[in-house]
Amino acid sequence: MGKYIVKRIAMGILSVFIVATLTFFLMNLVPGGPFVAEKSISKAAQEALEAKFGLDKPLLQRYTTYMTDFLQGDMGFSLRQRGRTVSDIIFSKFPVSARLAGIAVVVALCVGIPLGCVSAYNRGKLPDNFIIVLGTCGIAIPSFISSVLLLYTFGSWLQLLPTMGLNDAASYIMPVTALAIYPTAYITRLMRSSLLDVMGQDYIRTAKAMGLSSFMTLFKHALRNALLPVIAYVGPMLASLMTGSFVVEKIFTIPGLGREFVSSITNRDYTMIMGTTIILAALVIAANVLVDILYKVIDPRIKLK
Amino acid sequence: MNAKKILALALAALMVLAMAACNGNNGGNASDPANNGSSTPSGSGNDAEPTIASEFSVQIGPNPETLDPALNSAVDGGNMLVTLFETLLIIDENLEVQPGQAESYTVSEDGLTWTFTMRDGLKWSDGTDLTAKDFEYTFKRLADVNLAAPYGETVIGMVDGYQDAIGNPDKDGNMTTEPDIEKLNVKASDDGKTLTIVLSYPCSYFDKLVAFGTMSPVQQATVEANGDAWATKPETYVCNGPFMISEWTPSERIVVKKNPNYNGGWDSSRIVTETINFLLLEDSSASFAAYNSGAAVLIKDVPTEEIPSLTKVEDGGDYYVDTILGTYYVSMNDAIAPFNDINVRKALNLAIDRDYIANVIMQGTYTPAYNFVGPGVTDASGMFFDNSVAANGGKTYISEDYEANKKLAQEALAAAGYPGGEGFPTITYSTNDTGYHVAVAEYLQSCYKEVLGITMNIDRVEWASFTPLRRAGDYQMSRNGWVMDYNDASNIIELLYSTNGNNDGKYKSAAFDAAIDTSRVADQGEHFKALHEAEKIMMEDYACIPVAYYNDFWLQSPSLKGSWHSPYGYWFFQYAYVEE
């Protein structure tokens, strides 16, 4: 097990390195640059800017400089938000996104798993149909619609909840809801189908034949195995929620990482693109390693190699 | 005494009472805007006891990328700078240049030497003294090649010694001498009381340039101690305007509070609000919700889908549309066929219905443009636009009569050798995909097909690639637009000067260039005469296609008083207050 974890972490670091390298060269292939504006700046000013941030150097040299600096913990200055370092921006915004994502994940699990169970338990009956319709809506409605609907209803019309920021408990309600809708619906469906699948297996039938109530079989024997796919999904979901949601952050004016991620690309803010991409990649990989270990804990049959 | 008189007397007595109450509630605040004439709180309702709120919140743009005056090039940042800083001269609500940090100035006979006399007792927001030497440092900093101030050349390019200061770059941009900012001919007197600036060529609008946000003074000690980061934290953000930053949460809010050390051109007794929250909302639905819930009293980002349901202020509503100095236009690549033919350019210019574009497609948030220079731009006397129209026999250069234009367009296309569009190549229109750009492109597409029989394809280009493409002339037709930096028509007309970096249409006319050259004189009369001449030349040449003039449109609660919107695209909140 220990050996396996070390191996996975080493693989993870290699993956992050590959992602970083690919991103570095790809972003430089895209036309445009960080200092583009509707109004042209003089050529001398443009060149001075490029020299200041080392963009005048050959690509390969820039790459090695960036990587060496990065290994020493220096992600450089943002090219657009002058005077701010990439690490300052990321570390001031990441906690906001992480807090929001953490709550959303808990909400999604707490709502999604029971709903999935209820649905599977009542397969084909009214509650099942109702949950399926709800789940389909949750997956189909994009977050920019649900966010705006929430905002207009509870912020603007009923004026029950604050419309911006994360300054008190009430202000979490709308963004968390908007963020959690999709994963909740997804987990519900996943839980339902996985539970149905497990319920059809021999050992469950044996349990039933031995006279256990169907309620007991469901909770004692089926649930544990049925949770596996859900856990596999939670890892990447957590990682993607933690790096922030562009739409939700924009609509609820939350100073999180999601917007930096998207706007760094449209702004060609190279150092920010690198910083946010590396963080995202590292998170996704870390979440996956964690999930693998959790697998082992839940299902001892799984062999980690 | 009849009943009316008694009523009037009673009302007057009530108003006096209301005002007294108002003063009382202000406590230590010596002033009350009611006593200052120009912006009187209503005080008319007999139920009202207007008191002034200590703070209010507005939304005038997203998170500014930088608030360093030298580095800012965006209107969002510029709008913050007019609240946080004060330049040598300021521009008041009537668009007149007024003394700011300088109490007066003189210009030499030849228009080259400008001497500013500073006010006494000027202070930075940290309480230290501010003198002409700080301005000398600021202006020289703008010439620093390593700082790469985007507007450096625009604002101090005409100052004597500028070329030496930036190292005399050759035509490829390589320095031929060592840059030395000390060569910039800006000198503060030893007592810090006067600042002398010598220009290398006359600039009749230099007074407006020194009022531009880029020219806001920065404190040498702070900048040198903190580098670029000085402008990112409230603790190190030393300014000299009516307000100072007390809190900045990027992408959420900037909180400014009254600067106790402020001394300058704005009337301190009228600065009555303690705190202003600038909400950095980026989504127009979020702004709209904030406005409707009362969290913001003014919002700049109004969702376009809500516009039809809003009531204009003229009709008793809270929806404002006001001109800003800018023109939305279409560039044609004049250097290549078929656009190098004046008749083709004429046809493309006259075939479109500007009134329909501005008022239907753009929902009245723009104003149809029949000249290149729009309203709001001032002249030696009166407005530039009005004088252009007067000089052109009371008509705009492009007629407002669309039916007649359509006919002329078809004739012009025939004269160019493409009757009914026959034989005309398929053309491509490049645009980025925000705002009304694609809707306008689709209109042009259908209109050119219908009126001229021309097929036009639309090429949507992502923003960061769009500007370089246009600048390189790597297009046939493209969306373009310009919001002016300072209120002088040269700022927009010079876009078509053959060597201008923003001459995206690659327009080249000896007569036009000559007129621009003539305009670079100290005498205002001559300056504007030449600019009118230049505008006439480019309009008669159909050098580009003016489409619409920019406006700002916003929602403002009736409770917000004393603020104003300037055609620079800025809101001034110096004197603003909210009655509770």
- A 1-30 near B (Cβ less than 8 A): 30
- Regarding pTM above 0.80, the answer is yes
And the tokens for B55?
A: 């703070």
Of A32, A48, A81, the CB nearest to B146: A48
CA-based nearest residue in chain B for residue A254 = B252
Range of the domain at A117: 1-305
Interface list for B 287-326 with A (CB within 8 A): 288-290, 292-295
> Average per-residue pLDDT in chain A?
88
* pLDDT tens digits along A180-231: 999 999 999 999 999 999 888 888 888 888 888 877 777 778 888 888 889 8
Query: Cβ-count burial of B93 within 10 angstroms (0-12 exposed, 13-18 middle, 19+ buried)?
Result: middle
ipTM of model: 0.85
B468 to chain A, closest Cα gap in Å: 7
CB contact under 8 A, B289 and A152: yes
**A32 at the B interface (CB within 8 A)?**
yes
Residue numbers in B near A163 (CB within 8 A): 286, 289-290, 293, 295
**A179 vs chain B: nearest CA distance in angstroms?**
16
Average pLDDT over residues B145-152: 84
pLDDT score at A40 = 66
A161 in Cβ contact with A155 (< 8 Å): yes
User: pLDDT value at position B35?
Assistant: 39
B-interface mutation test, from A43, A82, A259, most B Cβ less than 10 A away: A82
User: Is residue B305 packed enough to be buried (19+ CB in 10 Å), middle (13-18) or exposed (0-12)?
Assistant: exposed
pLDDT the model gives residue B10: 52
Average pLDDT of A156-161?
88
Residues 205-234 on B with a CB inside 8 Å of A are 227-232
Facing A83 at nearest CB: one of B152, B232, B464: B232
**Percent of chain B's residues with pLDDT above 70:** 91
Q: What is the pLDDT of residues B87-140, one digit of tens each?
A: 999 999 988 999 999 999 999 999 999 999 999 999 999 999 999 999 999 999
Which residue of B75, B252, B483 is the best one to mutate when testing the A interface, meaning the one whose CB has the most A CBs within 10 A?
Answer: B252
H or E element in which residue A24 lies: helix A2-29
Please tell me which residue of chain B has the smallest CA distance to A260: B251
Euclidean distance between CA atoms B234 and B245, whole angstroms: 5
Tell me the mean pLDDT in the region A286-296. Answer: 83
Model pLDDT, residue B26: 37
Helices (H), B250-368: 284-292, 342-350, 354-356
**Which residue in the block uniquely carries the two structure tokens 């809506």?**
A137
Cβ pairs bridging A and B (under 8 Å):
148
* Per-residue pLDDT tens digits for B193-223: 999 999 999 998 999 999 999 999 999 999 9
**Closest approach of A254 to chain B, Cα-based (Å):** 6
Least confident of B34-43, B98-107, B550-559: B34-43
Pick from B562, B566, B65: which is nearest to B276 by CA? Answer: B562
Look at A39 and B150 and tell me if their CB atoms are within 8 Å: yes
User: Which pLDDT does position B44 carry in this prediction?
Assistant: 43
- Does the CB of B280 have a partner CB in chain A at under 8 Å? yes
What pLDDT was estimated at residue B38?
Answer: 40
In chain B, what residues touch A250 (CB-CB under 8 Å)? 282-283, 286
Mean pLDDT of B501-507: 90
Mutual angle of helices B342-350 and B402-415, in 10-degree steps? 150
Q: Categorize the per-residue pLDDT at A65 as very low, low, confident or very high, splitting at 50, 70 and 90.
A: very high
pLDDT category at B16 given cuts 50, 70, 90 is very low
What's the Cα-to-Cα distance from B353 to each of A200, B360, B397, B404, rounded to whole Å?
69, 10, 15, 11
Asked if B249's CB is within 8 angstroms of A48's CB, the reply is no
Q: How confident is the model at residue B32 (pLDDT cuts 50, 70, 90)?
A: very low
How does pLDDT run across B435-486, given as a tens digit for each residue? Answer: 899 999 999 999 999 999 999 999 999 887 888 888 889 999 999 999 898 8
Q: What does the pLDDT read at residue A38? A: 63
C-alpha distances (whole Å) from A106 to each of A184, A285, B373 are 10, 20, 58
Domain of A283, CATH number, reads 1.10.3720.10
Q: Kindly state the average pLDDT of the residues A97-111.
A: 93
Answer whether B204's CB lies under 8 Å from B523's CB. Answer: yes
A35: amino acid identity, one letter: F
Write out pLDDT tens, residues B396-433. Answer: 999 999 999 999 999 999 999 999 999 999 999 999 98
- The residue among B73, B228, B283, B492 with the most chain A CBs within 10 A of its CB, best to mutate, is B283
- Cα B71 vs. chain centroid, distance in angstroms? 16
Residue A184 has a pLDDT of 95
B196 in A contact zone (CB under 8 Å): no
CB–CB of B464 and A30 under 8 A? yes
**CB distance B293–A156 less than 8 Å?**
yes
- Picking from B167, B232, B465, the nearest residue to A32 by CB comes out as B465
Q: Do B295 and A164 touch (CB under 8 A)?
A: yes
Q: Which residues of A touch B250 (CB under 8 A)?
A: 81, 89, 92-93, 255
Does the pLDDT at position B187 exceed 60?
Answer: yes
Q: Chain B 459-478, CB below 8 Å of chain A: which residues?
A: 462-465, 467-469, 471
Q: Is residue B578 left, alpha or beta, with left meaning phi > 0 and alpha meaning psi from -120 to 50?
A: beta
Into how many domains does chain A fold? Answer: 1
Least confident of A29-38, B100-109, B568-577: A29-38
Q: Which residues of chain A does B68 touch, with a Cβ-Cβ cutoff of 8 Å?
A: 82-83
Residues of A in contact with B292 (CB under 8 A): 156-157
Higher pLDDT, A207 or A137: A137
pLDDT at A39: 67
Q: Which of A230, A248, A231, A246 is nearest to A280 (CA)?
A: A246
Interface test with A, best of B245, B293, B492 (most A CBs within 10 A): B293
Interface of B with A in 157-176 (CB under 8 A): 166-167, 169, 173, 175
B117 interfaces chain A, CB cutoff of 8 Å: no
pLDDT reported for residue A52:
83
The residues, any chain, with a CB within 8 Å of residue A65's CB and separated by 6 or more, are A54, A57
